[in-house]
Amino acid sequence: MAKGWEIVFGRFHFFVMTLWFASTAVSLIAMVVGLSSSGEDCEGPIRAWLVVQAAATGALLPLFHFVKIVGYPLMLVYKVTWTVLGCIWAFGDNCSEDFEYGYTATLIAVFFDFMVLGVFGLAGCICGIAACIGYGLTTYEDV
Q: Is a pLDDT exceeding 80 seen at residue 127?
A: yes
- The CA distances from residue 71 to 35, 98, 136, in Å, are 27, 36, 32
Number of residues written out for the chain: 143
Domain parsing of the chain, residue ranges = 3-138
> Of the ranges 10-14, 82-86, 134-138, which one carries the lowest mean pLDDT score?
10-14
CB atoms within 10 A of CB 53: 24
The predicted-structure confidence for 61-113, as pLDDT tens digits, reads as follows: 777 667 666 667 777 787 788 888 888 877 776 666 777 777 777 788 888 88
Q: Higher model confidence: residue 130 or residue 29?
A: 130
The predicted-structure confidence for 93-103, as pLDDT tens digits, reads as follows: 666 677 777 77
Q: Are 57 and 24 in contact (CB under 8 A)?
A: yes
pLDDT (mean) for 39-64: 73
CB atoms within 10 A of CB 17: 14
